[in-house]
Amino acid sequence: MQGEEKLWKQVICETQVTPEFIIWVQERLAANNQFLEVPHKRGSEAVLDKAMYEAIEAFQISKNLARGGLTYETIHVLNQTKMR
């Protein structure tokens, strides 16, 4: 693969994720104009599904972050998001 660099980034394991954490991620993605077209799932229905991963990747691209799951780097940048 010429011109590409492979990096290993630590990602969140789905067993570490609670519905409350997913809602936290959804709220910060929405504050960054990501994940707007998909209704937020609440309570025990809040899961890391395909729509969430697509929104996470769109956020990572917009912030020039490493892509490939919910990384600790992404969480750090989401944590700096100012809520509306």
Residue 19 belongs to some domain of the structure = yes
Q: Please, which pLDDT band fits residue 80 given cuts at 50, 70 and 90?
A: very high
Predicted local confidence at residue 23, as pLDDT: 86
Residue 38 belongs to some domain of the structure = yes
Q: Indicate the number of domains in the chain.
A: 1
Mean per-residue pLDDT, 33-52: 73
Residue 22 belongs to some domain of the structure = yes
Query: Scanning the structure block, which residue is given the tokens 């394991």?
Result: 13
Q: What's the domain range around 39?
A: 14-79
Residue 1 belongs to some domain of the structure = no
Residue 28 belongs to some domain of the structure = yes
pLDDT digits (tens, 9 = 90+) for 8-35: 666 677 677 888 888 889 889 988 887 6
Residue 9 belongs to some domain of the structure = no
Instruction: Tell which wins on pLDDT, 53 or 42.
Output: 53
Candidates 72, 75, 17, 78; CA nearest to 44 is 17
Degrees, nearest 5: CA angle 5-81-68: 30
